[in-house]
Structure 1
Amino acid sequence: MPIAQRGPGWTYRPDDTTPSVHNPRQPGIVTPHLRHALLTAYEMADLREVTERAEARMREAGGTVTIGLGPGAFDDAHRPTALRPLPAFAGDDLDPARCGGDLAVLICADDGPPEPLALQAHARWSRRGIRGDRGALGFREGTLNLKRPRDFDRHVWVRRDDRSGMIGGTYLVVRDIAVNPSWAELPEREQERVIGRDKRTGAPLSGTRLYDPPILERLPPDAHIRVAAPRTSSVAILRRGYDTDEGLLFLAFMADPRRQFVPLQRRLAKHDALHRHTRATGSAVFAIPPGAAPNSFIAQSLL
């Protein structure tokens, strides 16, 4: 990649250790963002079987497998502190058949769409996505995403104020987002104003190059990147989204959805110009425990 296109924090390299459920942290979070994704939510299953099949999948076919647990997988005494169902948000158009789940299995691969794990469990819903050069809205994405290990420690990994079995883990928020026809009807210049970026170059409207940090005060007050920016929202999360036939499979990892995603989404619903052109049709939250110890399974210490 030419030096001029390198973003801030370029000296950081994603975790390139061999993916395994037995690493200190699960793969598929800060490991390289692979091209294809399959996310399936199940009713509760045998976690030892899930762990063994996930490890075999990565060993034999490559890619990453990330395992999460929904609120319904725990009783009140054992549920991780930050694992609570998401509240309703203004503008949601949720289909119950595309929400929730006791168990989440996220499989990512570069060599083609992955197949699901062969589990003895009932699948509640499943979504596929692909990571393109541009997102479902036609704009470059991820240029302001978290990149540095110290940012992961601060915003992504659970470090305190939770059950001991979640320390070193994280939480995954899933939003299945459809793009309304009104978006395609907007002139390109108006789309740029809504996002806050040039559609061709990806540069913020306050700059000239893709990785120029946006000068927020020079952007429209309801521009998406201004409303969502950590400096104005006071919230940072790790986004790893994928395009779908309908729009976007929004995946975001964070240390506490109650304190990060919930206030951010409420802010977007109220102030973001993009919000009127999209709607969430599916929603879920999962605890992503740290990796399993040798000869054990994911979430054993929690259950």
Structure 2
Amino acid sequence: MTESIPHAVSDDAAASTAPVADGSTGSTGRSGMSRRGLLGWAGAGAAAMGVAGFAGGRASAQEPPPPPPAAPDAYPFHGERQAGIVTPAQDRLHFASFDLTTTSREDVVALLTAWTAAAAELTAGRPVGGDPASYDAPPNDTGEASGLAASRLTLTFGFGPTLFRDAAGKDRFGLAARQPAALRRLPHFPADNLDPRRSDGDLCVQACADDPQVAVHAIRNLSRIAFGTAALRWSQLGFGRTSSTSTSQATPRNLFGFKDGTANLKAEDPDAVSRHVWVGAGDDPRAGWLAGGSYLVARRINMTIETWDRTSLSEQESLVGRDRKEGAPLSGGTEFTEPDFALTGRGGAPLVAMNSHVRLAHPSQNGGVQMLRRGYNFTDGNDELGRLDAGLFFIAYVRDPRTQYVPMQTRMSRQDGLMEYLQHRGSALFAVPPGARPGEHIGRALFA
């Protein structure tokens, strides 16, 4: 799907057993309890013990205590591929884009080395850097996540086109000859209304976790480490995933109230993921360093919530191409029934409208291309007119944005009926290198 709402209402979606690092599989359960979950468990346990004591008097003292909460799940940072791509999508997001402020290639390598070391600690639920050298020195970790579980935190790093060449085409760090052919600034699509302050960047970090404080803590500490070498350009908080990357996850809903990501690529289908997500060794002779990695498309899509809320249910369903209650295509069946685009109704009109999101985003209408989406709902308060500043922060991973994303989004920008209710305000493309092995830093092959 594209991101028009492709990503919000999209016809792509869910996934399965929990891959430990976007490659291997591990626990399929939710990550360990967050601070809030632990408090809830403790309260429930206390209440249960109180009831037992009231009913059984002294006998309750002989009852075994309730089992302790399960140990939190954590995804290791090191691995063949970066975590946070096919990893089962977590509940919270903090996405950050950075601009480099240095002109030294050595400084960039030093930053990536420091970020890699910090990411290994953060994803394990440990503070960054250990104890400070002295009591009078600033602490190495900002501390607001102390005592919290790892919450399935993943940190995924990417490189923007301007890491290789500046806006004038000048080689910044001696990397221009290794810039992937597909890594170019995304075009200005029809109906785009982009804010440059929310677009592009030299580097990006995607932090996903089941506790928002853990995700924010990670970006805060990586920003602190980058001081003097890179500065935060823009960032986005997200809540409530809008797609599933594993068959173990139910299909979520976007802020329009519809199930989103029904047909998304799943981690349990490695052949499809390999075909549509991972860059191949022979894809680009200039960018062998990216083999095993992917491309990350990020788009900030505002929804005109108030207008949508005054639209009839029949019109909403027609624009989406699915019923709101179950998520089934309007051609009939259940949520996971393939839409029948040839089926017509009264007057010979197709049951799934020609301008519906589902039709325009479906692989059968786009040469079979698919994307792995990891988008999130967002709300940033109200705008100056009192309307919700809310929508979808669309994230998709693709093997080649030139063939998988750009043509689809161009078509949807022109034809998707949902565009009346959407405003694309931010846009960025990043190359996501493969994972780092112990002793290596992210992107080592690029700088070698």
Matches of 2:445 and 2:122, distance apart in 1: 23
1:22 equivalent in structure 2: 78
Matches of 2:14 and 2:431, distance apart in 1: 29
**Are the equivalent residues in 2 in contact too, given 1:233–1:267 (CA < 8 A)?**
no
Give SS of 1:221's match: coil
- Which residue of 255, 265, 274 corresponds with 2:409? 265
- Which residue of 275, 288, 312 corresponds with 1:164? 288
1:254 equivalent in structure 2: 398
1:220 maps to a residue whose letter is A
Matches of 2:428 and 2:14, distance apart in 1: 32
1:256 maps to a residue whose letter is D
1:211 equivalent in structure 2: 336
Give SS of 1:302's match: helix
Matches of 1:189 and 1:172, distance apart in 2: 34
2:114 equivalent in structure 1: 49
2:264 maps to 1:145: yes
Percent identity over the alignment is 40
1:3 equivalent in structure 2: none
Deviations 1:153-209 (A, max 9, x none): 110000132211111000000000001243233111100000001111111111232
1:135 maps to a residue whose letter is N
Give SS of 1:226's match: helix
Displacement, 1:14? 4.4
The 5 A counterparts of 1:65-84 are: 65-74=155-164, 75=171, 76-84=176-184
Cα distance, 1:66–1:140 mapped onto 2, change above 3 Å: same
Cα distance, 1:85–1:28 mapped onto 2, change above 3 Å: same
2:358 maps to 1:225: yes
Matches of 1:14 and 1:216, distance apart in 2: 34
2:236 equivalent in structure 1: 127
2:354 maps to a residue whose letter is P
1:5 equivalent in structure 2: none
The 5 A counterparts of 1:269-284 are: 269-284=413-428
2:202 maps to 1:93: no
**Are the equivalent residues in 2 in contact too, given 1:51–1:297 (CA < 8 A)?**
yes
Displacement, 1:23? 0.4
2:205 equivalent in structure 1: 105
2:207 maps to a residue whose letter is I
Displacement, 1:117? 4.1
2:313 maps to 1:188: yes
- Which residue of 378, 395, 399 corresponds with 1:244? 378
Matches of 2:210 and 2:370, distance apart in 1: 27
Q: Which consecutive residues of structure 2, in runs of 5 or more, have no partner in the other structure?
A: 1-11, 26-73, 101-107, 126-149, 165-170, 242-251, 344-351, 380-389
Matches of 2:426 and 2:201, distance apart in 1: 11
Give SS of 2:90's match: coil
Matches of 1:183 and 1:207, distance apart in 2: 24
**Are the equivalent residues in 2 in contact too, given 1:20–1:26 (CA < 8 A)?**
no
2:271 maps to a residue whose letter is R
Matches of 1:10 and 1:109, distance apart in 2: 17
Matches of 1:206 and 1:242, distance apart in 2: 28
**Are the equivalent residues in 2 in contact too, given 1:54–1:117 (CA < 8 A)?**
no
Cα distance, 1:117–1:217 mapped onto 2, change above 3 Å: farther
Bigger Cα displacement from structure 2, 242-251 vs 38-47: 38-47
Deviations 1:54-79 (A, max 9, x none): 11110112411101110111242121
Bigger Cα displacement from structure 2, 123-132 vs 171-180: 123-132
Matches of 1:79 and 1:276, distance apart in 2: 36
Give me the TM-score of the superposition, normalised by structure 2: 0.63
Give me the TM-score of the superposition, normalised by structure 1: 0.92
Cα distance, 1:15–1:216 mapped onto 2, change above 3 Å: farther
Cα distance, 1:80–1:15 mapped onto 2, change above 3 Å: same
Greater C-alpha Rg: 2
Cα distance, 1:187–1:153 mapped onto 2, change above 3 Å: same
Give SS of 1:244's match: strand
1:136 equivalent in structure 2: 255
Give SS of 1:22's match: coil
1:4 equivalent in structure 2: none
Q: Which consecutive residues of structure 1, in runs of 5 or more, have no partner in the other structure?
A: 1-7
Cα distance, 1:117–1:56 mapped onto 2, change above 3 Å: farther
Displacement, 1:296? 1.1
Displacement, 1:13? 3.1
